[in-house]
Every structure is written in C-alpha cells, then in structure tokens.
Structure 1
C-alpha cells in the first residue's frame, strides 16, 4: 500500500515539473514591439545612417539659384524663346485699268468668234445666192445660238439688201454684214454698270445667277474693275448655301483691299446683305456688291429668297443694278435660266462668262432679245482681269474680222 502511495506522489511531482517547464518556455517568447512613441520635437535630430537620404536642417538659410555654383563643365544652356512669326497681310494688287484690258481681250475674242463671221462672208460671196445658200446662212446663225427670230430677221434684211446692191465685193459684203449684226445687238442700249447712287449711300449691285456660271468669281472680278476705276468696294457674301463661296469671295476682296461681310454657312442671306449695306454706309464706301445664292430647285423658293434679299437691302437704299450672270457655253439652256431669274427679280444687265470658250457668240443677241436688257460685261478668260465692258462694235469686228 505504501508502495502505491509513493508511486502516485512521484507521478504528481513529475507532471508538475513538466508543466512548469512548458509555461516557462511560453513566457520567454518575444512579444510584439510596442508602438513607436511620439517624436520629441525638443530632441536634436538623429544622425543619418548609411543609405538614408540626408535632409537640410530646417533652420538653415535658403539660397537662391543665383547663389548656387554649378559644377564645372555643366553650364546650363541658354533658353531660346522662339518669337511667333509675324503674320503678313496679303499684298494688295493694282488691277489693270479698264481701257487697257479691252485691247488685249478684243484679240482673244476675235480668235474664238471669227469662225462665225468667216462662214457668213464665205456664203454671201457665192456667185449665186440661191435658196439652198440662204438656208445654209440660216443654219450658220442658228448654230451660233443667235436664236430663231433674230436669225429670220437678219436673213430677210440681208436678202433684200444684197438684191438691191447687185455687185458684191468683199468689202461691201463685210460692211453690209457688220451693219446688220450691229442692228441686232441694239447699239443704243446703255451698257454702263450703274454704281453711283442718287442718295447719300453707296451704289448697291446685286449679282444673281445659277451656281456654276461663275457668279461668285464674276463678283470678285467686278470688284477689281471698280477698284481699278478708283472706287472703294464692300463685298457681301450672301451665298451661304454653297460650300466655300464666302471664302472664295473674301479671297477676291483681299487681293484688291475690299472687305467682305460674311456670316455662318447656311445662314440667312438677307441678313448678310443687310449688314453689308449697313457697313458700306458706315465706311463711306462707293459700291456694295452682293453675291447671292444660285439655287434653282423651285422657282418659288428662289423667288422668296431673292425677293427677301431685295426687300431687306432696300430698307437702306434702293438697288442700283441687278446683274444676271450666264455661261455663254450653255447656249439656249442659258436662256431658260434667264427667263426664270427675269420672272423673280428685275434684271437690269447681263454678264456673259466664258465667251472666249465658245464659237456660239450669237447668245449675246439671243439673250438681249429674250430679256430686253443689255449685255454689260463679258468674261473672256480665267485671269483676274479678264472681265471687260461689252462693246457691240468691237464684238462685231471680232466676228467678221476688221
């Protein structure tokens, strides 16, 4: 019994000793470090260790960049500030005077139109002028777009005069044909472009016509003609429906020092025309040229648009001139356009462009007969100064040769 009790006591002692060892080893494990204490701002800064970033003391006096010496050989390159290039205004051109360009253009017109006159003179010079020859003369005139009624009148008068004349020398035939063609061109028409207002306002000229006939270009060239005659011009870019029309007109104006009044693309043409005339009055300009849109989708839309431009402009002053621009190469199709515009606005004059590019110069006669208004200007090329006043005598001389 005692032996059992002794064994139990020894077992308890051994277990207690082992438990103490385990607890002791757990207590000796390293505890997590305590949170860092708040820095003492009164204590001197610690010395930096190797690899730490050194900081300048906060109480050190700051130095300016001028006081800091750069290492030798590392002088800073001077900073070069590029100044913007000056924007040069476009040089203002001096257009060719009207009188000077007529001589040059007359020769160009002669080269393009001479076939008509030569053909007529050749037919009239035949020894026997029978019915077949007179039909050929009619065909020649119709091919040149003279028109049916003017052709019939011309042939009838020629037949009568040739019959009375009897003998027909080349000079007599040329003189005869010249007189009859001049008669068809109505030389008594007043062909001056009216740019002088009877009021204390600029002369106001509205330019109309189908897009593609050279309307905007003609407006720009007309500005050159007026500037060459010593007039100051303001341009109104009221063709707001054709892309770049205003840019094109402004370029023409800048070349001769004429200012262009324009608005947003697709804007109200009447509003731009109104502003152009208003600014022309304020600037004391001599002439205001208004370039209008040339759409022919419907006659009603065209009438409303041009009618509105005319009404709005006339709040300042009445229009002095309405010029219709036609492409001479379109021939009889140009007459259809002319009729539509004549029904919409009161046309006072006609500008025929590209007259040097067609042998159908008879369109001059036909369009005057159709509208009852004179051809006042003709375009004879793509050059800036290739717009000139129309002279019936020079035109006929170009047709039949001087």
Structure 2
C-alpha cells in the first residue's frame, strides 16, 4: 500500500513540473529566442544570352539555361545618294559624232556629187540636182539660189575633175549654211547674275531631253547650272528634268503640276542668283504653235524672267525629221519670242540634212546645237565645216 502511494506521488510531481514548464513557455511578456534568419538567396548574374535561374536552382541548372537571342532591330532603309557624273567637255563633240550623219550623206552629199560628176550636165541633170536639194529639205528658195550659182561656176570651169566638183559643192554648201554666222552659245554670267537660257518648242521635238543634255554639256565645260522645270502641263516633264539634274549635280527648281510656269521660271532665276551659278536653263511646256493662248503665255514667261535677269538665249528646239512642217512651227515661235538659236534634234535619223539651210534662211538665226543620237552626250555644238565634210564623204 505504501509503495502504491509513493508511485502516485512521483507521477503528481512530474505532472506539476511539466505544467510549470508549459506556463513559463507561454506566459505573457515571456522572452523567447528569435528564429534564426537565413541570408537571402544570392542568384548568379546571368551573362548576355543567358536566363537567370529560378530560385532554388542549382549551379548546373544556371549553366544550362539560356535566353533566346535578343530581338533584331529592323534595319533602317539606306538612302543611296545618286552618283554624280562628270560629263565630257563640248569641244570636238561633232567630230567624234560625225559617223552619225551617214544617212544625210547618202542623199544630200553623195547624191549631188554623183550628179555633178557626170560628163554632160544638161537641163535634165540640173533638174535632178534641184530635186535632190528639195528632197533634202533645203527649201525651194535656197535650192534655186544654189542651182543658179552652181550652173554659173560649172560653165566657168569647163572641164571638171572629181576634186574640182567636190570643192565647188563644198564652197556652195558652206555659203548656204552661213559659215560666218555666230554660233556661240551665250552662257557667260553677268557679274553676280547668271546667264539665262530659255528652251522653247512644240511637243515631241525632244525639248526636255535637249535641256538636260545642254546642262550636261555646260557642266562638262566647267559651269554651275540651275534647271527650271517650267513645263507644268506634262506630268512627267519635271521628273524627267529632275533625273537629268541629279545625274550631274544640277539643282532643279520645280512646282506643282499645273502650276504657273512664269512663277517657276522666276524662282529658278532667283535660285540661280542666290547660289551664284553661271547658267539657268528654263524648260518650257511643249506648246502647239496653233494655240494662241499658250503662245501668249510663253511670252509672259520671258517677260517675268526679265524682271530678275537678262534672257541671253532663246533656243528653239526643232525635230530634223519633221522637215518643212518644222519651218512653220519655227516662224510662229519667232513671232512670240526673239529666237536666238536653233537646236536641231534627230539629225542622225534623217536623210534631210538640208533643213539646216532652210531654217537658218527662214529665221535669220543660226543652228547652234545638233542632236546626233540618244546618248546623254550626243548633243554637239554645230560646226558647218565638219557637217559639209561629212556630207561629202571626207
């Protein structure tokens, strides 16, 4: 019995001790040790092209995890500046291009030489000579003058060797072409004011192309040029002239389609003065010579330009293949503006080289430029001696 009571007493003491410990642990105001604070996890800094590993990942995981390549920024369009060409000088161009006159030679030059070299020059032969000249677009009045002069000189000579016939014909052709005419293109600036060239002509004669080729020629001779795109009625004219200007580094002044041509011409001259250029070339609309209102507008363009500078040259562009129809056009233009020179295009594509004689005789102004091909440098200063020698096969 006593032993049993002793065991109960021991259990009670242990229970009381246990209860006291719990009380000490949870009693208010009791101080307990804070739980240990673990240091923050330090993640490795990812290298370029790698992805940061997730928390808890091992080093091996970080080493094998990579990012996709960064997005490639789209490349901006590259603007390529046009290549500025250096045109050749104008001197000697007609000599280099003389082979282009082969078609004119076959009819006008060789035909006349064959006829004049016959043993007997009767009336029928002289009629053939006259017909050859008229067919070559020399014109009726110049033809009659040439035939009369040739008949007189042949009678004086008596017998005729091939060399004498050729020399005789060369002299007569040079006389009709006007070897003493001033064919100088007046493009010298006046102090601080540039020279101004006004280019006129009907549709289809190659006027805008001639303007661009003339700019190349002048730049090849060392001049600084501004182009005025005053042909606002043909949609592609300004773009065409811009292309010519870009190729040789010439500034192009242009306006809206259908805009006032006189205003654009004025602005082009003003730009030329501002930039201190040597020459301003103004391309005008290809007006039909039958349209009185349009022709009057051409006169207005010239008058407006003259408020800023002198118009040194008015070049009338004619198509050599149009023959006597070109003469009618030339007469009307000469009534509206004072034409100072002729630019005769497509001379290489016709057997009617005599148009040079008739147009000069009709207008009283010289042919200053001739187009002898479609290349950019096929516009040449006209040389009467080279032209006649080529016609006669020298």
Q: TM-score, normalised by structure 2?
A: 0.83
Q: Stretches of 4+ moved more than 3 A in 1?
A: 66-74
SS in structure 1 of the partner of residue 314 of structure 2:
strand
Look up the match of 1:289. Answer: 281
Is the contact made by 2:104 and 2:352 (CA closer than 8 Å) also made in structure 1? no
Is the contact made by 2:289 and 2:295 (CA closer than 8 Å) also made in structure 1? no
Deviates more, 1:368-377 or 1:120-129: 120-129
Please tell me whether residue 317 in structure 1 is matched to residue 312 in structure 2: no
Residues 130-279 of structure 1 mapped to structure 2, 5 A cutoff? 130-279=122-271
SS in structure 1 of the partner of residue 244 of structure 2:
helix
Is the contact made by 1:197 and 1:320 (CA closer than 8 Å) also made in structure 2? no
Please tell me whether residue 118 in structure 1 is matched to residue 110 in structure 2: yes
SS in structure 2 of the partner of residue 317 of structure 1:
coil
1:99, distance to aligned residue in structure 2 (A)? 2.4
Is the contact made by 1:207 and 1:290 (CA closer than 8 Å) also made in structure 2? yes
Extract unaligned runs of 5+ from structure 1.
Answer: 1-65
Look up the match of 2:369. Answer: 377
1:112, distance to aligned residue in structure 2 (A)? 3.9
Cα offsets for 1:110-168 (capped at 9, x unmatched): 45434321111111111111111000000000000000000000000000000010010
SS in structure 2 of the partner of residue 382 of structure 1:
coil
SS in structure 1 of the partner of residue 120 of structure 2:
coil
Deviates more, 1:300-309 or 1:163-172: 300-309
SS in structure 2 of the partner of residue 189 of structure 1:
coil
Residues 374 and 297 (structure 1), Cα distance of their counterparts in 2 relative to 1, 3 Å cut: closer
CA RMSD of aligned residues (A): 1.8
Is the contact made by 1:113 and 1:358 (CA closer than 8 Å) also made in structure 2? no
Residues 382-397 of structure 1 mapped to structure 2, 5 A cutoff? 382-397=374-389
Please tell me whether residue 99 in structure 1 is matched to residue 91 in structure 2: yes
Q: Distance in 2 between matches of 1:174 and 1:131?
A: 20
2:119 paired residue among 127, 131, 136: 127
SS in structure 1 of the partner of residue 97 of structure 2:
helix
SS in structure 1 of the partner of residue 283 of structure 2:
strand
Is the contact made by 2:53 and 2:65 (CA closer than 8 Å) also made in structure 1? no
Q: Distance in 2 between matches of 1:384 and 1:124?
A: 38
Cα offsets for 1:221-276 (capped at 9, x unmatched): 00011001000000000000011100000100111110100001110000100000
Is the contact made by 1:146 and 1:362 (CA closer than 8 Å) also made in structure 2? yes
SS in structure 2 of the partner of residue 315 of structure 1:
coil
Is the contact made by 1:221 and 1:384 (CA closer than 8 Å) also made in structure 2? yes
Name the count of aligned residue pairs: 338
Q: Distance in 2 between matches of 1:199 and 1:318?
A: 12
Look up the match of 2:324. Answer: 332
Is the contact made by 1:207 and 1:215 (CA closer than 8 Å) also made in structure 2? yes
Q: Distance in 2 between matches of 1:287 and 1:196?
A: 7
Extract unaligned runs of 5+ from structure 2.
Answer: 1-45, 55-60
Q: TM-score, normalised by structure 1?
A: 0.81
